[in-house]
Structure 1
Amino acid sequence: MKLGMSSYSFRPLLADGSLQIEGMFDWMQAHDAEHLEIATFSFSPPGQEAAYDLTTDTGTLERVKANSARTGIPVSGLCMAAKFAFVDADERRAQIEQVKRHIELCNRLGIGLLRHDVVLWSQRLTDAAAFEGAFPSIVDACREIADFAAGHGVTTSVEDHGFFMNGSGRIQRLLHAVGKSNFKFTVDVGNFLCVDEDAVVATRASLGDASFVHLKDFYVRRTNPGPGWLQTLGGQFIRGSVFGFGDLETKMILEAVVASGYDGFVSLEYEANEPTLQGCATSLGNIRRMLAEIKAA
């Protein structure tokens, strides 16, 4: 496995200007990160995330390429928003074409992996009728994109992200319906909590289809502790934590990853309240310590 960082982890500092792209790569080099996964909106101006298009931001792309070469830290993949349901036909087509432009960008940069969403992560219209109504449109879009990506040497994936296309069963159903060998699963070990699925069980069930793994941890509460907590679909409340400090069985999850034989990219996605760089460093240290203990056992 190659343990690295998602640019999402650095978003607060990138947004307020206290960390630049050059400094992000310097920090990763100093902390032995083996790759950078880019969440595209990480580089957008504050408040412009929804309209941001990395493919047209030539200045940022040149800085990323230059600093990747300077530090020897490769860019492992792209993560981007997309919505193929609950939009009109023109918007749906525009979304598909935007994903294709990012696939072309992957090809130009030598990146082999791209994760795209299929609906807004905040979409909570999740009853069976809504899901069944949207499913064919999502399948068709994912298949068209995967076919396009295959011609560019790119593997696409969806993630257990948000509340609609989440849960190991729903995503496995989508993978089966699309039926393309280069359409996979970005397994986020913590996001299953958004739909109240047990993180250990869901991770175990999903790793066989994984093209990428995201590591994170959450605090979980049954009742609302106050501001800053996300309500899950089932009415629990979660908040990001330093990896290993929260309520997930993080070592058990890492044991499942190791036992599965997965040997690809693993990204830390840090989203806790502790200071960003401190939290990222502590999380990386905890991941490495747990992996060493697992390998020594």
Structure 2
Amino acid sequence: MRFGYGTNGFGNHRLPEALAVIADLGYDGVALTLDTNHLDPFDADLARRTAAVAAELQQRNLAVVIETGARYLLDPWRKHSPTLMDDDPALRLEYLRRAVRVGADLGAEAVSFWAGIGQAEHWGRLVDGCLEIVDVAAGQGVTLGFEPEPGMLVNDIADWRRLYADLGEPPNFGITLDIGHCRCLEPIPVADCVTAVMDHLVNVQIDDMRRGVHEHLEFGTGEIDFPPVLKALAPYQGLISVELPRHSHAAPAIAAQSLDFLRNAAKEASNDHIG
């Protein structure tokens, strides 16, 4: 079982320093959000800067997935805008195309993205945008992980299944599963959510959460029983990355505590399996 940490939880660190801390703590990888301070995909010399990050990752023996949840990268006034649901999604599509290119250059295990907030009648916009990115990713050998996000048009696992079907079930289009989201809104136990999507699982975000409240919490402060979840994740070979995007103020300490918690929960899950 391989644990990673999201760079969106190290927003006050320069990227090389964030990678150094994450590696020194003992993590196996990073979920790298392309953002203003962390490998900005719209800044100059992207290829050169990507190569430098690739060297850092290799030196520190860190695997990587690419995340695209930057808040104000595309619009300094509107969080996460534009999205695939907007009247003009061109800038979002360009961001995703660049994320795929960076993912290919870094050897990322997946590039993750989500729908955005929108009306049901605009479902076709989402399908069209995803089809374009699926094609771009297929051309570069990149696996996509699409994340159901509470409050967005693809809100839960059932919505992801509908989208996957409407896209024609492309082989490079998997699911990014946030464990906290499962507790927040899915109708079945969290561990059962993992089992239900295992055949399509390409990226995992992990955090604690409470029922009905979309707030990413430190482990042990929400309602999730983690050993059964990690037991359900046993067949999964990809990164399981801590997702605490509002905890940059204490990133090193929280990252250390998170890894200790996950290792203990994994040990408990393993002992339960043996028993």
Q: CA RMSD in A?
A: 2.6
The 1:101/1:27 distance shift into structure 2, 3 A limit, reads closer
Asked whether the equivalents of residues 187 and 212 of structure 1 are also in contact (C-alpha less than 8 Å), the reply is: yes
Counterpart code for 1:56: D
Structure 1 residues 136-180: Cα deviation after superposition (integer angstroms, max 9, x where no partner): 221122122112211101011211224121111111111121120
* 1:122-201 → structure 2 map (5 Å cutoff): 123=117, 130-131=119-120, 133-164=121-152, 165-178=154-167, 179-193=169-183, 195=185, 197=187, 200=190, 201=192
Of the three residues 101, 104, 110, the one matched with 2:101 is 104
* 1:49-88 → structure 2 map (5 Å cutoff): 53-56=40-43, 58=46, 61=50, 63-74=52-63, 76-81=64-69, 83-85=83-85, 87-88=86-87
Aligned to 1:283: 258
Give, in whole Å, the separation in 1 of the partners of 2:136 and 2:215: 37
Q: Secondary structure at the match of 1:275?
A: helix
Give, in whole Å, the separation in 2 of the partners of 1:147 and 1:253: 33
Give, in whole Å, the separation in 2 of the partners of 1:69 and 1:271: 24
| Gap regions ≥5 residues in structure 1 | 45-51, 221-235
Counterpart code for 1:93: A
Q: Secondary structure at the match of 2:122?
A: helix
The 1:174/1:238 distance shift into structure 2, 3 A limit, reads closer
Structure 1 residue 104, shift from structure 2 partner: 1.8
Q: Secondary structure at the match of 2:10?
A: helix
Counterpart code for 2:123: F
Q: Does 1:92 align with 2:101?
A: no
Q: Does 1:243 align with 2:234?
A: no
Asked whether the equivalents of residues 183 and 210 of structure 2 are also in contact (C-alpha less than 8 Å), the reply is: no
Aligned to 1:211: 202
Structure 1 residues 194-232: Cα deviation after superposition (integer angstroms, max 9, x where no partner): 546556143333333211111101245xxxxxxxxxxxx
Residues paired across the two proteins, number: 254
Aligned to 2:229: 253
- Following TM superposition, where does structure 1 have runs of at least 4 consecutive aligned residues deviating by more than 6 angstroms? none
Give, in whole Å, the separation in 2 of the partners of 1:35 and 1:207: 20
Structure 1 residues 241-297: Cα deviation after superposition (integer angstroms, max 9, x where no partner): 222332122222222222xx1111111112466833222211111111111121122
Structure 1 residue 22, shift from structure 2 partner: 3.0
Counterpart code for 2:261: N
Structure 1 residues 109-153: Cα deviation after superposition (integer angstroms, max 9, x where no partner): 22241112222xxx3x5xxxx32x121221122122112211101
Structure 1 residue 188, shift from structure 2 partner: 0.5
Give, in whole Å, the separation in 1 of the partners of 2:36 and 2:252: 15
Give, in whole Å, the separation in 1 of the partners of 2:196 and 2:29: 26
Q: Secondary structure at the match of 2:266?
A: helix
Asked whether the equivalents of residues 34 and 99 of structure 2 are also in contact (C-alpha less than 8 Å), the reply is: no
Asked whether the equivalents of residues 242 and 280 of structure 1 are also in contact (C-alpha less than 8 Å), the reply is: no
